[in-house]
Structure 1
Amino acid sequence: MTDQVINTSSTNSGSAKLVYILYLASIVFGITGLIGLIMAYINKGDAPEWLKTHYRYQIRTFWIGFFYFFIGAITSLILIGYIILLFTVIWLIVRCIKGMKALDQQQAHPNPTGWFF
């Protein structure tokens, strides 16, 4: 019985890790971020409480990143947008790495509702 609980937790954790990987892949292949978002929305309901914080963090990462990207794309006409787009890529990488680190330690994300890192 204990093994089954551990395996279920590990499987859920694997799905959350896959979402982080899909987000990182979206830097090159944009559509993978949308796939990761859908996975996060689907898996957050059945997850244990500590894992729900990761899914919440991932969902917010997508939408906030989308907002930053949108602002960067619009302002790229006046050149500052390229700096915003670069910041968005760095921001996404840092958030995903921090999230995967907490996930590997099977800990709840410390600040799933934050806007920055």
Structure 2
Amino acid sequence: MSDYDMGPGNGPRSPAEDKDRTTAIIIYVLYLVGFAAGITAVVGVAMAHSKATHDPVWRTHFDYQVRTFWLGLATIIVGGILSLVLIGYLILAWWALWTVIRVVKGLMLAINNEPVDDPQTMLW
């Protein structure tokens, strides 16, 4: 069994779990808005880091969000440095596509009260 094994039923079962769902959705939206105003992504990752939940469904989302932010930041740094030799622009384009796919996937799963299958994945 993994740390993310789900019990029976994936829907909100308590006000605390419903609050976790709302928080997860807000963080995904902050990440999307972060494309225009980067500070919202920082607020989102701070919220995800600070969210302590014992519900395995929502823990998968918060872990996935934290991983999305930090892998994305690393990619932006590498892409920014390598943009001096032009290849960085392809890396930054990859980061934008990767981020949108991860955020939309996570948002759709959160809306449907479903866990992220593998929150530790580097892809989607």
- Which among 83, 88, 94 is matched to residue 95 of structure 2? 88
Distance 1:69 1:21 in 2: 20
Say whether 1:40 aligns with 2:48: yes
Identity %, equivalent residues: 31
2: CA distance between counterparts of 1:47 and 1:72? 36
Say which structure is richer in helix: 1
- 2: distance between equivalents of 1:47 and 1:34? 23
Q: Gapped runs of 5+ residues in structure 2? A: 1-12
RMSD of the alignment, in Å?
1.4
How far did 1:65 drift?
A: 0.2
* TM-score where L is the length of structure 1: 0.91
| 1:9 CA drift (Å) | 1.8
Which residue of 19, 22, 35 corresponds with 1:27? 35
Unaligned runs of 5+ residues in structure 1 are: none
Aligned to 1:115: 122
The CA distance in 2 between the partners of 1:102 and 1:12, in whole Å, is: 13
Q: TM-score, normalised by structure 2?
A: 0.86
Give the whole-Å Cα distance in 2 for the aligned partners of 1:86 and 1:11. 34
Matches within 5 A, 1:62-73: 62-73=69-80
For residues 53 and 116 of structure 2, the distance between their equivalents in structure 1, rounded to whole angstroms, comes to: 17
Look up the SS of the partner of 1:113 in the other structure. Answer: coil
Residue pair 1:12, 1:47 contacting (<8 A) in 2 also? no
* 2: CA distance, partners of 1:57 / 1:12: 14
CA contact (8 A) 1:19 1:36 kept: yes
Shift of 1:86: 0.9
Q: Which segments of structure 1 move beyond 4 Å, counting only runs of 4 or more?
A: none
Aligned equivalents of 2:98 and 2:78: distance in 1? 14
Opposite residue 28 of structure 1, the aligned amino acid is A
Are the equivalent residues in 2 in contact too, given 1:19–1:39 (CA < 8 A)? yes
Q: Deviation at 1:7? A: 2.9
